[in-house]
Chain A
Amino acid sequence: MNIVNILEEIEKVDGEIYERLNPRRAAMKAFFGLGKKVALSAAPLALGSMFTKAYGQTAPSAVIDVLNYALTLEYLEYHFYNHSLLAAPGLIPAGAANAAITTIRDHEKAHVDLLTGAIKANGGTPVSFTYAQFDFTAKGTFPTVYSDYNTFLAVAQAFEDTGVRAYKGQATVLKGMPVLTTALQIHSVEARHAAHIRSMRAANGVNIKPWISLGAGGVANDTGIGAVDPVYAGENVDAQAGITITGIATGVTKAAAVECFDEPLAKADVLTIAGLFIK
């Protein structure tokens, strides 16, 4: 036994004990306690107050920036679906399709509320968008987005796959923070949406998998719709953390290697895509 080794080990264990007592931990505990007592509609405010306690009077501006960036995308998605349900009669078939789009719309609204509350409670100014501020034809690229079901679903898929990539791209900014967990919990919901929208397109005759596969001829975009190339830029990489995934085991083809890891997208690239739909 080595005395230095022992001291290091005790220090590590003591560190954890102190962590249990430190303000961030206490703030989280207070938040959990509050969450049980307040109405769900007030939860975003409660979440916000947890951030306040964890990081002082205001969250770091980098965190507020990420939350506002996420909020922008959530508004984009919310208004896109909400308009389809309220103002495009006959676009979405009644029954399962309508129910699924309603479920997704409701999740995007919940994300808008959650992020807005968290930003406000931390002294930040949340962005806000009305439907009128968006142009879901992308300035004429998708003129039939609200009259042709296939086009609507194609744009929906692009939004969901972009959303997944956008949240993933911010993970390192939020590293080690409780808010990272919240972001991950939104991120995987967007991935569930993306898979379902892809399945809805497949049910409508489009050759598309629930996961992002390798495009024809090895391109990154697996949708066959050239207008959404920027949404899938870089999705065809097959090396992860310096490890080549293709052939890592028998049967792992390039397509499987591409499918089994979703790629992040940088904020600037996401905002360029989102900007096509903002007036």
Chain B
Amino acid sequence: MENLQEKNSSDLLTTEKGMLTAPLQRRSFLQYAGAGAAAMALVAVGCKKDRNDGPMVSGATLDFKDDFGVLNYAYALEQLEAAFYIQVASKPPSTFSAIEKAYFQDIQFHEIAHREFFKKALGTAAIGNLEVDFSSINFNDRSSVLNAAKAFEDLGVAAYNGAGARIKTDVYLVAAGKIVSVEARHAAYIRDLISNGSFANAEVVNAQGLDLALAPDKVLATAGKFIKTKINVINL
């Protein structure tokens, strides 16, 4: 379902046409893809064994083969959000009201708590601290801060919605569910600060009444411009 809103029709037409008119080509492609993936697996195994001698890849690796990959993905996004709100809360735009300052403090601690929750849940499997890049955000400007916050929150909601079906362990699935609705509350609050009544407008909720859901690669493509650390995604 995560592709519902992102799949473009030309992709589908191409795929369908390929299936109808060129089944052999498609089959060869899959065989090729299978061989390629197997080769990549061998490389990955090689990397695993070599890790003792020094890292072969720099940055953080999200390995979606199991729940730890999904949790690390969430941990990466929560690190990003926490870093953003820490900066906002420490020096809010001068036009923030007292209640806005207080609520951005609240949100800051929510995101810090989410970050630390994932770090503890992951234990030794946790990725390292990510280096963020907020150079595109003007932290003195109310509009710049609110629009960045809106982008982070809507993206967070779409990310958890899109990743939920990947989670295999009940307790982690429920934890993700407990977090995503809080992110949606943040998103609604911030959207209403930008424009009252935009809490669930057509930018984020479609005609079926469904919020966004995005696959991890799509989310990371957007989040990536705020993250300096290289994030490697495998087994997605």
Q: Measuring CB to CB, which residues of chain A are less than 8 angstroms from any residue of chain B? A: 1-2, 5-6, 9-10, 12-14, 16-17, 20-21, 28-29, 32-33, 35-36, 40, 43-44, 96, 99-100, 103-104, 106-111, 113-114, 164, 167-168, 171-172, 175-182, 184-196, 199, 209-211, 240-241, 243, 245, 248-249, 251-253, 256-257, 259-264
Contact across chains for B117 and A243 when beta carbons are under 8 A apart: yes
Question: In the complex, which residues 183-227 of chain B have their Cβ closer than 8 Å to any Cβ of chain A?
Answer: 183-189, 192, 196-197, 199-201, 204-205, 207-213
Q: Which residues of B contact A251 (CB under 8 A)?
A: 108-109, 112
Contact across chains for A103 and B200 when beta carbons are under 8 A apart: yes
Q: Which residues of B contact A256 (CB under 8 A)?
A: 106, 109-110, 113
Which stretch of B54-62, B127-135, B137-145, B157-165 is in the interface? B157-165
Contact across chains for A257 and B113 when beta carbons are under 8 A apart: yes
Q: Which residues of A contact B114 (CB under 8 A)?
A: 260
Contact across chains for B3 and A210 when beta carbons are under 8 A apart: no
Cβ 8 A contact of A241, one of B121, B204, B235: B121
Kindly count the residue-residue contacts between A and B in the assembled complex, taking CB atoms under 8 Å apart: 253
In the complex, the chain A residue whose C-beta lies closest to that of B1 is A181
Given contacts A36-B9, A188-B184, A260-B109, 14 further A-B contacts (CB under 8 A): A5-B45, A20-B30, A100-B199, A103-B201, A110-B209, A111-B209, A168-B174, A168-B177, A186-B210, A187-B177, A196-B188, A210-B188, A251-B108, A252-B112
The verdict on A182 contacting B1 (CB below 8 Å), with A9-B45, A194-B185, A256-B113 known, is yes
Contact across chains for A184 and B185 when beta carbons are under 8 A apart: no
Q: Which residues of A contact B9 (CB under 8 A)?
A: 36
A64 to B40, CA, bound (A): 41
B42 to chain A minimum Cβ distance, whole angstroms, is 6
Q: Which residues of B contact A12 (CB under 8 A)?
A: 41, 65, 235
Q: Which residues of A contact B41 (CB under 8 A)?
A: 6, 9-10, 12-13
Contact across chains for B182 and A260 when beta carbons are under 8 A apart: yes
Cβ 8 A contact of A187, one of B38, B167, B181: B181
A205 to chain B minimum Cβ distance, whole angstroms, is 13
Q: Measuring CB to CB, which residues of chain B are less than 8 angstroms from any residue of chain A? A: 1-4, 7, 9, 12, 15-16, 30, 33-34, 37-38, 40-42, 44-46, 48-49, 65, 103, 106, 108-117, 120-121, 157, 160-162, 164-165, 167-168, 170-175, 177-189, 192, 196-197, 199-201, 204-205, 207-213, 235
Q: Which residues of B contact A96 (CB under 8 A)?
A: 196-197
Q: Which 6 A-B pairs have CB atoms at the shortest separation, nearest pair first?
A: A110-B209, A181-B1, A191-B184, A260-B110, A195-B188, A191-B181
A202 to chain B minimum Cβ distance, whole angstroms, is 8
A27 to chain B minimum Cβ distance, whole angstroms, is 11
Contact across chains for B207 and A40 when beta carbons are under 8 A apart: yes
B180 to chain A minimum Cβ distance, whole angstroms, is 6
In the complex, the chain B residue whose C-beta lies closest to that of A263 is B178
A86 to B126, CA, bound (A): 53
A94 to B54, CA, bound (A): 66
Cβ 8 A contact of B38, one of A10, A176, A264: A10
Contact across chains for B210 and A191 when beta carbons are under 8 A apart: no
In the complex, the chain B residue whose C-beta lies closest to that of A183 is B164
In the complex, the chain B residue whose C-beta lies closest to that of A251 is B109
A249 to B116, CA, bound (A): 7
Q: Which residues of B contact A28 (CB under 8 A)?
A: 1, 3
Q: Which residues of A contact B109 (CB under 8 A)?
A: 249, 251-253, 256, 260
The verdict on A99 contacting B197 (CB below 8 Å), with A35-B4, A175-B167, A209-B103 known, is yes
